[in-house]
Amino acid sequence: MSEPLLEIKNLVTGFETESGLLKAVDGVSFTVPKGTCVGIVGESGCGKSVTAMSIVRLLPQPMGKILDGQILFKGRDLVQARETDMHEIRGQHIGVIFQEPMTALNPVHSIGRQIGESLMLHRGMNAREARDAAIQLLQRVRIPAPEQRVDEFPHQLSGGMRQRVVIAIALACHPELIIADEPTTALDVTVQAQILSLLKDLQAEMGSSSILITHDLGVIAQSCDSVVVMYAGRVVEKAPVRE
Ligand SMILES: Nc1ncnc2c1ncn2[C@@H]1O[C@H](COP(=O)(O)OP(=O)(O)OP(=O)(O)O)[C@@H](O)[C@H]1O
Ligand SMILES: [Mg+2]
């Protein structure tokens, strides 16, 4: 067993609602060993996305709060980390692919600018270098004619291409951990298969680890090393993917 990259211990995340405190995640623990892919499955509303948002501390504010537990990333507890440190972690160490590709992209900026943003911020690239790097990333996620696409806007792309752009943004700074929350749900089956195999290839290429959230056990079987099953805010099963 390789050493853990991410260790979640007894995570409790709640929302302040009008009718009181709702514990959306209630004592979740699991580990992501280095270089592996862990799948999270479970019915709608069981807390998969809230778990993912807790890891990168992007919970809906002001209602969402981590109430208890530890999220150890390379041994360091993200629950206790300062907000400024979280900026760096989100930008460079953990890449997130959110559930809805349309809302993840900004409609008024070109895709080149959106991919290049974190490279300028975290890698100190200038605008020209960031644009060149964006073109390379578009190529990497297999978007045809990247030199032209780089200056286009999200509405000019198909759903599958937009999702590839979201992946390119998440991968821009070569994160050690990629969290993909239903990265293919909005897409048709053929595009879905392409995006999943693309993610898998890129991960192998960069040696990163990942958490893949999905409803689809077929997807888990194909892409993951182990699987966590959640129900009503808790982990009810953990096993290697074969089992
Ligand atoms: N902003 C919010 N305010 C209050 N409750 C919320 C909020 N966001 C999520 N919840 C609640 O937290 C619980 C877990 O939601 P979550 O989004 O993690 O589900 P999920 O497992 O990702 O479901 P799906 O498969 O549909 O994406 C749900 O009961 C949901 O109603
Ligand atoms: Mg969800």
Distance between CA atoms of 37 and 221, rounded to whole angstroms? 11
Taking the mean position of all CA atoms in its chain, how far away is CA 153?
Answer: 22
Give, using CA atoms, the residue closest to atom 3 of ligand 1: 15
Q: What share of the chain is helix, strand, coil (3-state, %, to 5)?
A: 40, 30, 30
Q: State whether the beta carbon of 231 lies less than 6 angstroms from ligand 1.
A: no
Other C-beta atoms lying within 10 Å of the C-beta of residue 25: 26
Strand order in the sheet with 64-73: 20-33, 4-17, 64-73, 76-77
Q: Is 220 helix (H, G, I), strand (E, B) or coil?
A: helix
| Atom of ligand 1 minimally distant from the CA of 215 | 25
Tokens of 48: 């998969």
DSSP string, 113-160: HHHHHHHHHHH---HHHHHHHHHHHHHHTT-SSHHHHTT--GGGS-HH
| Tens-digit pLDDT string for the chain (243 aa) | 578 999 999 999 999 999 999 999 999 999 999 999 999 999 999 999 999 999 999 999 999 999 999 999 999 999 999 999 999 999 889 999 887 766 789 999 999 999 999 899 989 999 999 999 999 999 988 899 999 999 999 999 988 889 889 989 988 888 999 999 998 877 778 878 888 888 888 788 888 999 999 988 888 998 899 999 999 999 999 999 999
Residue ranges of domains in the chain, CATH in brackets? 4-240 (3.40.50.300)
Which atom of ligand 1 is least distant from the CA of 42? 21
Query: Helix or strand or coil: residue 162?
Result: helix
The tokens for 215 are 């409803």
Ligand 2 centroid–CA 99 distance in Å is 7
* pLDDT on residue 1: 54
Instruction: Quote the CA–CA distance of 119 and 129 in Å, as a whole number.
Output: 9
- Strands 4-17 vs 94-97: parallel, antiparallel or unpaired: unpaired
From the CA of 48, give the closest atom in ligand 1: 21
- Closest ligand by atom to 50 CA: 1
Q: How far apart are CA 109 and CA 97, in angstroms?
A: 18
